């Protein structure tokens, strides 16, 4: 079979998927310090320092002001736009004591209860959520 | 000679590890997920009894961070510790490696033009320990040696499904040329459909997942041609983990038969899939 060699065409397809931020190289570069900051919260002593003074701890990292504000606001969709990856951001919401279900629901515009009810009923259908262009 | 006797596909959903560790497997919310592994636990103990598992998984920003991103990393160490994923390590035994076989496979793969990253020291996260728990339950010591094979499926692009399948084929060649008589299984973990980010989070596609399970059996190799964008559109952004199942499938040779299959929705945000395959011929 033929391997994909056109990087631009490969990446362009991802922008056609509704409600999804694929963790591309561009996002990985923009979010490098954001994600490494999040990784630092794996250590209990760093979690304590962050909780004691979030702003001061964030100021130790060479992040953009928008990234720092996104973190202070726990605005996860904004953080995805600014290069955050959910497995790294998970260190932030774990520090807050939130589960994946609780944190992920905040990105969907649904209440936790509605989101959980949707999952129990079989999850979000792929129908209509595959492609912006093809509306399928 | 070492021989690959079976392949296992299995989701590695972290909450299943939590449910097991906190004795909640019989609670109504978790029971249907765990029940589908009863058959496998008995089969592993009484019939299959592998000496070594080549366990294909991905790290979830636990041991690997953004500093170094290996596409394929093989664990050649004597043992692997359990990651602290932010709330203390899971209370499960450390994982014993199989360095002689692992180094043999690593050398064979590089000579076979798969340029592996060799890892001597690493801790492993729920991607590796949850499948062990599902297959063995509560143990003081894992009854099997493990060769961790970590795949990057977080930062794009991950390896193609075709490359994963071909890596599986090369692993089979490597195992077949190892002189010691060892019963080896290959496990592919992760998936099935799930999306943990953005407004589309919560996507589940049972129909697609079950077609994927169908495609693992028999002598079809059409799964290897599925492009990343199809996994993303059809199965959610984290459904891409299913490329790791293709390493397992590729290692089983031309044809397979399924001897056990289990599918359950939902577990937390995720569709749970599990299949046990034997090579045919």
Q: Is residue A31 part of a domain?
A: yes
Describe chain A by its helix, strand, coil percentages, rounded to 5: 55, 0, 45
Q: Which residue of B has its CA nearest to A134?
A: B233
Q: Rounded to two decimals, what is the model's pTM?
A: 0.98
Query: Which tens digits make up the pLDDT trace of B187-208?
Result: 999 999 999 999 999 999 999 9
One DSSP character per residue, B47-60 reads II--SEEEEEE---
Percent with pLDDT over 70 in chain B: 100
pLDDT over 80 (residue B113): yes
Q: How far is A120 from chain B (nearest CA, A)?
A: 6
Range(s) of the domain holding residue A14: 7-97
- Could you tell me if B202 lies within 8 Å of chain A, comparing CB atoms? yes
Please tell me the predicted confidence (pLDDT) of residue B87. Answer: 77
Catalytic residues of B: 126, 194
Residue A67 belongs to some domain of the structure: yes
Residue in chain B nearest A27 by alpha carbon = B155
Contacting B residues, span 57-76, partner chain A, CB-CB under 8 Å: 60-62, 65-67
Instruction: Region of A121 please: left (phi>0), alpha (psi -120 to 50) or beta.
Output: alpha
What secondary structure letter does DSSP report for B223?
G
In a domain, A14, yes or no: yes
More confident residue, A1 or B166: B166
Residue A1 has what pLDDT? Answer: 61
| Arithmetic mean of pLDDT over chain B | 97
Position B21 pLDDT exceeds 90: yes
A-B contacts at Cβ under 8 angstroms? 154
Tell me which chain A residues have a C-beta less than 8 angstroms from the C-beta of B201.
19, 104-105, 107-108, 115, 124
> Over pLDDT 70: what percentage of chain A?
99
Chain Cα centroid distance, residue A124? 18
Residue B225, number of CB atoms within 10 A of its CB = 13
List, for residues B226-271, the tens digit of each pLDDT value: 999 999 999 999 999 999 999 999 999 999 999 999 999 999 999 9
Q: Would the pLDDT of B151 be above 70? A: yes
Confidence of residue A3 (pLDDT cuts 50, 70, 90): confident
User: A106 lies in a domain?
Assistant: no
Q: Hey, are the CB atoms on A14 and B66 less than 8 Å from each other?
A: no
* Chain A touched by B210 (CB under 8 Å): no
Query: Does A120 reside within a domain?
Result: no
Total tally of structural domains belonging to chain A: 1
ipTM of the complex: 0.96
Structure confidence by residue, pLDDT tens digits, A18-57: 999 999 999 999 999 999 999 999 999 999 999 999 999 9
Distance between CA atoms of B159 and B38, rounded to whole angstroms? 33
Minimum distance, in Å, between the CA of residue A82 and any CA atom of chain B: 13
Chain A interface includes B233 (CB < 8 A):
yes
Write out the two tokens for B186.
């290959």
Residue A92 vs residue B281, higher pLDDT: A92
Mean pLDDT, chain A, rounded, equals 96
Residues 117-136, chain B, touching A (beta carbon < 8 A): none
Closest-CA residue of chain A to B195? A20
Inspect the interface and report whether the beta carbons of A107 and B201 lie closer than 8 Å: yes
Res A108 pLDDT > 80: yes
- Token pair in block for residue B47: 């019939």
Give the Cα separation of B93 and B28 in Å (integer): 27
Q: Is A62 within a domain?
A: yes
pLDDT value for A17: 98
Q: What was the pLDDT predicted at B200?
A: 98
Residue A63 lies in a domain: yes
Please name which of B131, B108, B242 lies closest in space to residue B187, comparing C-alpha atoms: B131
Query: Tokens for B87?
Result: 């709330």
Instruction: Note whether A19 contacts B271, CB cutoff 8 Å.
Output: no
Q: Is residue A109 part of a domain?
A: no
Are B225 and B215 within 8 A, CB to CB? no
Residues 6 or more apart from A43 whose CB is under 8 A from it?
Answer: none
**What's residue A82's pLDDT?**
98
Residues of A in contact with B193 (CB under 8 A): 123, 126
Is A22 in contact with B232 (Cβ distance < 8 A)?
yes
Q: What is the CATH number of the domain that holds A72?
A: 1.10.700.10
Range list of β-strands (E), chain B: 3-10, 52-57, 72-75, 79-82, 95-96, 117-119, 123-124, 145-151, 183-189, 255-267, 270-280
- Rounded Cα distance, A103 and A122, in Å: 19
Answer whether B160 sits within 8 Å of A118, measured CB to CB.
no
Average of pLDDT values for B48-71?
A: 98
* Mutation target among A5, A20, A80 for the B interface, most CBs of B within 10 A: A20
Q: Which of B157, B197, B268 to mutate to test the interface with A (most CBs of A within 10 A)?
A: B197
């Amino acid at each position: 079979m033929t391997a994909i060699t056109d990087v631009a065409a490969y990446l362009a397809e991802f922008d056609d998927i509704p409600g999804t931020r694929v963790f591309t190289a561009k996002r990985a570069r923009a979010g490098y310090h954001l994600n490494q900051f999040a990784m630092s919260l794996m250590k209990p002593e760093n979690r304590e320092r962050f909780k004691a003074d979030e702003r001061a701890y964030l100021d130790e990292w060479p992040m953009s002001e928008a990234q720092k504000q996104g973190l202070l606001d726990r605005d996860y969709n904004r953080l995805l736009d600014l290069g955050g990856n959910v497995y790294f951001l998970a260190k932030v919401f774990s520090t807050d004591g939130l589960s994946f279900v609780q944190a992920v629901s905040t990105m969907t515009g649904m209440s936790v209860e509605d989101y959980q009810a949707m999952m129990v009923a079989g999850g979000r259908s792929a129908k209509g959520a595959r492609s912006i262009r093809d509306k399928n | 000679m070492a021989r690959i006797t079976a392949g296992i596909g299995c989701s590695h959903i972290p909450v299943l590890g939590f449910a097991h560790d906190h004795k909640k497997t019989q609670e109504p919310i978790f029971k249907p997920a765990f029940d589908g592994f009863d058959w496998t636990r008995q089969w592993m103990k009484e019939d299959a009894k592998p000496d070594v598992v080549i366990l294909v998984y991905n790290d979830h920003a636990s041991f690997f961070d953004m500093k170094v991103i290996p596409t394929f990393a093989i664990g050649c160490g004597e043992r692997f510790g359990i990651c602290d994923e932010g709330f203390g390590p899971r209370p499960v035994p450390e994982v014993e490696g199989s360095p002689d076989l692992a180094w043999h496979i690593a050398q064979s793969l590089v000579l076979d033009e798969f340029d592996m990253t060799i890892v001597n020291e690493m801790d492993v996260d729920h991607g590796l320990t949850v499948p062990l728990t599902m297959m063995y339950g509560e143990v003081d010591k894992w009854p099997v040696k493990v060769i961790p094979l970590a795949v990057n499926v977080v930062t794009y692009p991950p390896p193609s499904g075709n490359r994963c399948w071909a890596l599986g084929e090369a692993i089979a060649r490597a195992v077949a040329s190892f002189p010691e008589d060892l019963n080896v299984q290959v496990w592919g973990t992760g998936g099935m459909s799930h999306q943990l980010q953005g407004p589309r989070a919560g996507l589940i596609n049972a129909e697609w997942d079950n077609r994927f399970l169908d495609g693992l059996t028999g002598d079809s190799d059409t799964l290897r041609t599925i492009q990343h964008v199809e996994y993303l559109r059809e199965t959610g952004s984290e459904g891409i983990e299913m490329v790791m199942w293709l390493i397992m499938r590729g290692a089983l040779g031309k044809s397979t038969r399924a001897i056990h299959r289990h599918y359950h929705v939902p577990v937390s945000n995720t569709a749970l899939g599990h299949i046990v395959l034997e090579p045919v011929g």
